[in-house]
Copies of this chain bind each other. A is one copy, B any other.
């Protein structure tokens, strides 16, 4: 895309009330717009990153048998009263609203209740199980404070998967398959090395749940990492009893701040009991379905990437979720440079390479500063100098490493699916 056509502009300063690093950078670079505290719109560059992140999660959820659907934000109190979660005491982040008739409605913070109720139409026999159902859907959470940018907002897209199994054993098998899929996702978006499967509280229906925590100074959680076993324990269950049960010794653990980038949660029969979701087993007896829930927030993942990988010049995107693969920076607008830039843009996009072409009438310094701020993995400079040399300066954003390539070398590198030069 031609940068002169992109409607967003970079800005020198984020809004003065924005305290999080991720939102400051994303706003300055034109990825998101702050509508109000904890509420962010996604601009074209931001939507590209968000959709790539969603695409990766979707692939991994489909690979483990997930079926995608889309539930609603508006919530009928009826099903929530059955599970005892309609009150603000049970869920302290409800937004509530009213129909014209005066009836109260909620805005979905999560979807166990409506989905469990829906599945009653489709699950009758053991032959109908197991089933895995997920969505990318907007959640609304009335957070008291919202100071973490797009990592904890009041309105955000969540990938939530729910598993429906015949037995605890069948459930556990999927639970582990989903844990593996999650690890693949965090690897693919560039957070694998810093992310740990973490024992956390299981709430009222299970001893432990599993979180996936990415080590980061901006994290709201504290975890204790066992590097050798590549796992961690959340502070909330960091006590002698739990450690002994997990076979961990305090002296082997390292304390870190971390961001919860995903969680998987045994639900047992908590919701199937409350809402009457049963199946007939082979003996013809009605048995409650065993459930689990599995969440990842794509925007939180995106915010975590910004927090973890950015440097003092701006954002640094990993290849897999970058808005474009190449930032083609044109210096000068004489006819020759113009023509060469156009030709490069045409050839690269023809090869399926996503290019943001900075064709703006602006100074070199401004273009380079914007390019660093926006954080596309590879910057390629076209100028009189590059024309004279027949090679183009290519700078890797994450390492700063510079190499010089002809156009065909460059295309060869980019289409061989290597993430670096």
Contact = CB atoms under 8 A, between A and B. Distances in A.
A70 B41 CA distance: 6
B74 A140 contact: yes
Interface residues of A, number: 54
Contact of A142 (B39, B65, B100, B123): B100
Given A97-B107, A142-B99, A121 B72 contact: no
A144 to B, nearest CB: 5
Contacts of A123: 7
Interface string A49-89: 01000000000000001011111111110000000000000
A74 B154 contact: yes
B133 A73 contact: no
A138 interface: yes
A74 B38 CA distance: 10
22 contacts: A5-B65, A7-B119, A7-B122, A7-B128, A9-B121, A11-B121, A36-B74, A41-B70, A41-B71, A41-B72, A42-B69, A43-B69, A44-B69, A46-B69, A47-B69, A50-B70, A73-B140, A74-B140, A99-B142, A100-B142, A100-B143, A138-B138
Which 7 pairs, one residue from A and one from B, show the smallest C-beta to C-beta distance? A42-B70, A7-B131, A41-B71, A97-B97, A36-B76, A95-B97, A35-B72
Interface of A: 5-9, 11, 30, 33, 35-36, 39-44, 46-47, 50, 65, 67-76, 95-100, 105, 107, 114, 118-119, 121-123, 128, 131, 133, 138, 140, 142-144, 154-155
